[in-house]
Amino acid sequence: DSSPNGGNGQSRGKFTSSGFIFAAIGSAVGLGNMWKFPYITGLYGGAAFFFLFIICLLAVGLPVLLAELAVGRGGRGNASSSYYRLSGSKLWGGLGFLSVLGPFVILSFYAIVAGWTLHYAVISFTGKLFENADFGVRFGGFIGSWMIVFWQFVVMLLTGWIVWLGVSSGIERFNKILIPGLVILLLVMVVRVLTLEGAGEGVSFFLRPDFSKLTAESALVALGHAFFSLSLGMGAMMTYGSYVDRRQSLGAATLAIGFGDLLYAFLAGLIIFPTTAVFGLEASQGPGLVFVALPAAFSAMPLGALFGGLFFLLLAFASLTSTVSLLEVPVAFASDTFGWNRRTSVIIVTLLCFLVGLPSSFSVGGLYSGLSFGGKSFFDWMDFVASNILLPICGLVVTLFAGYVWKGAAEEAGLNAWWFKVWLFMLRFVAPLLVLLVFLYSAGLLPD
């Protein structure tokens, strides 16, 4: 193989057809669905925002998802070398490298919050969480302590271990266990919450749209979230796509992944909004919702320690299936580029990512408050650079590549002529324009 950074001819991993769908849904479903989606939905007016999110998912998310899967499978390489192989251009390979950097940065801080969910699952099951009713103080104390570094390490270790085991005996097998587990936990929680007295009010906040709340800002937030939620612009779907068999229909896979992600967000809403309504909590209160408000709710419900534990376990499972997909991107890149075997690559990349994440850990709860610049903590800067800069740029790159540059997109995507036209139209005109707007908006470059 003549490509400079990819394809040393080693046999690549392979997913089975169902294993791929599980893994891709696992990547999509994560903290974004349960931690971020409810509070932005609360913030931007409930059902109307949810409706916007669905439109963004269908109109832009799914076409871009299909493009990523097709580029990955067509290029049979990592998130950078796939571009290079399909175009023969180093420029595109270089642009692709940005989507190797993105997941590395995201993982460095995503693992921190994932660690919080594991810690909360443990202290909920043991009852320690409920010893003192001041949940805000407890949360503040926890994130200001070294404990968060310990849990961050645990998450990196688990993630590294699964990726170390390989595509089929690690990533696929693990997702095939955790995703059904996730569904069961989710259904248990939904039933528990919907049978609380007064749950209906929360349900109607979530499902009765008030379109007067919609602003241009909320639309841009919805689109940005559709991208994050589907794991787009981060090379993750592209890398997973490169392990997919030629016979798999990518169109059908795209629908399944989109539907899985949406269903999960919907059920998360059915858990969070009724809970907050029943216990008089604010659904729009931001990141503290899950770690401060919900424990208060669990403490007031019968068998709260059990349901609280299950809830945080659910979050932890969902996060781990996402961290695995994040780690796989730079690991695949490093093995291809430097000729390392998977295990060497996993050890080096995991360790590096943990180290890069440390300043985020120190900055978030005040272990070291000097790590703030321009009103943002180091953690927030990492999030900003990855989610608001790299993600939309890489989204734009894949859209333009599949829409204008790569001539084999149609064949690889396997759509019939009519759907292909729709897809191409979205990739060429609708998605780039909207993604550009999101980029300008979230980078703070759009005039008010």
Closest CA to 223 of 12, 396, 15, 11: 396
Could you say whether residue 403 binds ligand PFF (CB under 6 A)? Answer: no
Site for ligand PFF in 226-255 (CB under 6 A): 228-229, 231, 234, 236
Q: Minimal distance in Å, beta carbon 237 to ligand PFF? A: 7
Cα 210 from chain centre: 28
In this structure, which amino acid lies at residue 300? A
Query: What is the rounded CA–CA span in Å between residue 402 and residue 238?
Result: 12
Could you say whether residue 31 binds ligand PFF (CB under 6 A)? Answer: yes
Assigned token pair, 171:
């990533």
Taking the CA atoms of residue 383, residue 388, residue 393 and residue 398 in that order, the dihedral angle to the nearest 10 degrees is 80
Could you say whether residue 326 binds ligand PFF (CB under 6 A)? Answer: yes
Residue 103 or 251: the one with the smaller Cβ distance to ligand PFF is 103
Stretch that binds ligand PFF, among 31-39, 119-127, 133-141, 204-212 (CB under 6 A): 31-39
* DSSP-assigned states of every residue in 155-220: HHHHHHHHHHT-IIIIIIHHHHHHHHHHHHHHHHHHHHHHTSTTHHHHHHHHHS--GGG--HHHHH
Query: What is the rounded CA–CA span in Å between residue 246 and residue 267?
Result: 33
Could you say whether residue 33 binds ligand PFF (CB under 6 A)? Answer: yes
Q: Minimal distance in Å, beta carbon 426 to ligand PFF? A: 21
Residue 58-97 contact track with ligand PFF, rule CB under 6 A, x = bound: ----------------------------------------
Could you say whether residue 28 binds ligand PFF (CB under 6 A)? Answer: yes
Among 5, 27, 218, 350, contact with ligand PFF (rule: CB under 6 A): 27
Residue 234 or 296: the one with the smaller Cβ distance to ligand PFF is 234
Residue facing ligand PFF at closest CB distance: 32
Among 6, 7, 19, 32, contact with ligand PFF (rule: CB under 6 A): 32
Residue 236 or 434: the one with the smaller Cβ distance to ligand PFF is 236
Q: How many Cα atoms sit within 13 Å of 247 on the Cβ side?
A: 5
Q: Minimal distance in Å, beta carbon 117 to ligand PFF? A: 11
Could you say whether residue 99 binds ligand PFF (CB under 6 A)? Answer: no
Residue 33 or 175: the one with the smaller Cβ distance to ligand PFF is 33
Query: What is the rounded CA–CA span in Å between residue 25 and residue 30?
Result: 9
Stretch that binds ligand PFF, among 13-21, 29-37, 349-357, 401-409 (CB under 6 A): 29-37
Closest CA to 232 of 327, 103, 104, 357: 103
Q: Minimal distance in Å, beta carbon 42 to ligand PFF? A: 17
Q: Minimal distance in Å, beta carbon 216 to ligand PFF? A: 23
Question: Count of residues binding ligand PFF (CB under 6 A)?
Answer: 16
Residue 283-322 contact track with ligand PFF, rule CB under 6 A, x = bound: ---------------------------------------x
Query: What is the rounded CA–CA span in Å between residue 326 and residue 328?
Result: 6
**380-409 exposure pattern, b = at least 16 Cβ within 10 A, e = fewer:** bbbbebbbbbbbbbbbbbbbbbbbeebeeb
- Beta-carbon contacts of 79 under 8 Å, excluding residues fewer than 6 positions away, are 72, 96, 97, 99, 100, 235, 238, 239, 329, 332, 333
Residue 265 or 277: the one with the smaller Cβ distance to ligand PFF is 265
Query: What is the rounded CA–CA span in Å between residue 295 and residue 308?
Result: 7
What does each C-alpha distance from 209 to 41, 47, 192, 362 come to in angstroms? 11, 4, 25, 40
- What kind and span of H or E run contains 253? helix 250-278
Could you say whether residue 103 binds ligand PFF (CB under 6 A)? Answer: yes
Residue 54 or 300: the one with the smaller Cβ distance to ligand PFF is 54
Residue 99 or 299: the one with the smaller Cβ distance to ligand PFF is 99
Q: Minimal distance in Å, beta carbon 54 to ligand PFF? A: 15
Could you say whether residue 337 binds ligand PFF (CB under 6 A)? Answer: no
Cα 188 from chain centre: 23
In this structure, which amino acid lies at residue 170? G
Residue 234 or 244: the one with the smaller Cβ distance to ligand PFF is 234
Site for ligand PFF in 123-182 (CB under 6 A): none
Q: Minimal distance in Å, beta carbon 236 to ligand PFF? A: 3
Could you say whether residue 260 binds ligand PFF (CB under 6 A)? Answer: no
- Beta-carbon contacts of 49 under 8 Å, excluding residues fewer than 6 positions away, are 40, 41, 213, 214, 218, 222
Q: Are 240 and 71 in contact (CB under 8 A)?
A: no
Q: Are 400 and 233 in contact (CB under 8 A)?
A: no
Interface residues toward ligand PFF, by CB under 6 A: 27-28, 30-33, 103, 106, 228-229, 231, 234, 236, 322, 325-326
